Amino acid sequence: MTIIEKIIAAHSSQANVKPGDIVDVFIDARAARDFGGANVVENILNNGLTVHDPSKTFFTFDCNPGGSDQKYAANQHFCRLFARQNDIKIYDIDSGVGTHLAIDKGLAYPGSTFVSTDSHANIMGAIGAFGQGMGDQDIAAAWAKGSVWFKVPDSVKLVFKGNKPANVSAKDFVLNLLSIYGANKLLGYSVELTGQPVEELSLDERITISSMATEMGAIILLFSPNAKVLDELEAETGKRFETVKPDSDANYLFTHEIDISGFVPMVANPGHPHDDTSVLSVKNTKIDSAFLGSCTNGRIEDLRIAANIIKGRKVAPGVVFKIVPTTDAIWRQALEEGLIQVFKDAGALVSNAGCAGCAAGQVGQNGPDEISISTGNRNFAGKQGKGSMYLASPGVVTASAIAGFITTPDDIPATPAIFEKKEAKAREIKPKEIIERPTVVEGRAWVIRRDDIDTDMIFHNRYLTITNIKEMGQYSFDNLKGYEDFAKKAQPGDIVFTTKNFGAGSSRQQAVDCFISLGVSAIVAESFGAIYERNAINAAMPIMTYNPGQLEELGLEQDDKVRLNMLTGEVTNLTKNKVVTINKFYDAQLQIYKNGGLL
C-alpha cells in the first residue's frame, strides 16, 4: 500500500484498502474553527447528537483573532459556551493557526488522522499524516461518531532529482509545481513527494509546500518524515514518533520525475495561484503593500529570512508591510530572537498570530486598485481584498516591500521607488441643484421616550465602512432594543421625538445620515449630544429642542400626525389638536439648512 492507504487502513476496520474503496475512517483529532465552528455546533444540537470524545475534539479560533467582526464575535462566544458545557479544548484567539497548532502541539502526528473546517487541513501531509478540510456536517459527524466516511484516492508519486538552486525557496518549489500541474492535473490524488532534494527540506519548508495541495486540486501532498523532521517534531512536542513509509510494491497511478535544478523564483499572478511566472517577468511592478504570513509562510524560518533581508533597512515610502506569525509560540520566539524589533524598526506592522487577510478577519486585506504581494496560498479575486494580489516567497515579498516594487533579495535598490504624483482626472462638476427647503413639515410621529440614545444604538460601528448614504437607512436604530425594525416601518416624512442627550457617543456622521437616507423630516429631542447636534445641523437635517414637560403638553403618542414649524418653533399635534412652542431654528442653523448643508 501507499502512505495514504496505510494510514486509512490503520484507522478503519480494513486490513487493506485500495483506490475507490469507501471506508469509515477513525479521526484522531477533530477540529472546528471560528469560521464554521458555530455551524458545527448547530448541527450537533439540532440533530440531538453528543460529542464522541472531548479529548480528541478542539476549537481553533484563527480566522478572526481580534473578534473585530460582530458575527465572528457572536460565533466565537457561542462556541465557547458549547466548549465549556462539553469539556472541549479551545485554542482561542491568542493561539494562532489551528493546523499549525495541531502539528506543534502533537495533536496530529505521523500516521495520524486529522480533520478541520479549514480547507488547508491537508497541510498534515508535511508530517506524513492524513489531514482533510471538511464541511460543517462532516465535522459534526466526526465529533459525534469519531469517524467519517472517505473514498480512498489514487496515489501518484513525484520523484525529485537535481540540486535546488540557492535562490529557490520552498514557496518557489510549490509555485513551480503549480506551473507544471496547474489547478487540476493532480485533482483528487494523494501525491507522495520523494527524492534527495525532498530529503533536504526542513519541517517548515514541507509545511509551506503541503499547505498548497488544495490550490493544486490534490487531496494531499505527502512527505514521509525522515530522522531530521522527526527530531524537529520531537523538539516541538516532546514526543518521538514513528514514520509511515509506502510498501516497496505499492501501486501508483503514475510516477513522474522532476529535475529541481530548473526551478526558478516564481510569483503567482493576481487571480489564480496556478497562473505562475518567473519573478523576473514581473520585476519592477510597483506595489502598494506587502504581506508576510498565512498558514503557508508564517513559520519562524520565514520570519528569519525576512528579518535578515530587512535588518537595517526601511519599508519603502508609502508602502505598507504587514507581518503575521502563524502561532503565538512563533511570535514569542521572534520576539526573543529580536525579529519583532527588526520589523518594527523597518516600519512594518506586526500583528498577533492568526490566518490574517486570507480569512478576511485580520490584517492583510487590500483595497480596490491596490497592488499587493503576499506569501499567502490564495489570490483569488476578492479573497484577500478587492485589489490585485501577487503570491511569492518571504524573500521576494520582503525585498519588494523595501524596494517599493517587485524584486528579488539580491537586487534591492539603494534608493526605493516612490509613488508618482498623479493629477486627479478632471470631472465634470454639475451645478448643485438649489432646492427650496420647507420650514414647515408634517409627518407621523415616532415617540421614543428614552434618554442617552447613543450613536451605536442609532448606527452601529459594524456598518461604518458604508459610505453611500442610500445604503445607510436600512441600519437605523437596529441596535436600539425595541426598535430594531424601525427602518422597515419608517416612512418618508416621519418625525422622531425623543428625550435627553440623543446622539451621545461617537462623532460618526452616519448616525445622522441614516435618517436622511430614510427621508425622516426632523428629529425633536429635549437635548442632543454636542457632536451629534453639529453633525445634524451641518448635514441640513432638521433638529429641534423642547423644554421639560412640553412633550407631555402635546399628549403625543406613537403615530400621531404632527406639524412642525422651524421658524416659529410651533409644534401641533394634529391628531389631538394640541399646540406647544419649542425652541426654533437659530440663525446659523437656518442659514445652513437653506444652503442644503455646511458645504
Q: How many CA atoms lie within 13 A of 535 on its CB side?
A: 22
Query: Has residue 435 got a pLDDT over 80?
Result: no
Cα 565 to Cα 522: distance, rounded to the nearest angstrom: 11
Q: Point out which residues pair with 373 in neighbouring strands.
A: 290, 390
Q: Point out which residues pair with 291 in neighbouring strands.
A: 322, 374
Cα 198 to Cα 205: distance, rounded to the nearest angstrom: 10
Q: What are the cell numbers at 178?
A: 503549480
**CB-CB contact of 143 with 51 (8 Å):** yes
Q: What is the DSSP letter of 226?
A: -
**CB-CB contact of 330 with 300 (8 Å):** yes
In this predicted structure, what is the pLDDT of residue 387? 87
Most confidently modeled range among 189-198, 289-298, 359-368, 457-466? 189-198
Q: Point out which residues pair with 350 in neighbouring strands.
A: 323
Whole-prediction pTM value?
Answer: 0.79
Per residue in 509-537, pLDDT (tens digit) is 999 999 999 999 999 999 999 899 989 99
Per residue in 299-311, pLDDT (tens digit) is 999 999 999 999 9
Reduced 3-state DSSP string for 161-210 = ECCCCCCCCHHHHHHHHHHHHCCCCCCCCEEEEECHHHHCCCHHHHHHHH
Q: What are the cell numbers at 484?
A: 430594531
Q: Coil, strand, or helix at residue 141? A: helix
Q: Please, what is the average pLDDT of the chain?
A: 93
**Using a CB cutoff of 8 Å and minimum separation of 24, what contacts does 86-92 make?**
86/51, 86/54, 86/57, 87/54, 88/51, 88/54, 88/57, 88/58, 88/59, 89/54, 89/57, 89/58, 89/59, 90/58, 90/59, 90/60, 90/61, 91/58, 91/59, 91/60, 91/61, 91/62, 92/59, 92/61
Domains of the chain listed by start with CATH number? 3-261 (3.30.499.10), 267-411 (3.30.499.10), 440-595 (3.20.19.10)
Q: Please choose, from the candidates 540, 560, 547, the residue with its C-alpha nearest in 3D space to the C-alpha of residue 496.
A: 560
Per residue in 212-253, pLDDT (tens digit) is 998 998 999 999 999 999 999 999 999 999 999 999 999 999
Q: Are strands 561-565 and 440-448 parallel, antiparallel or unpaired?
A: antiparallel
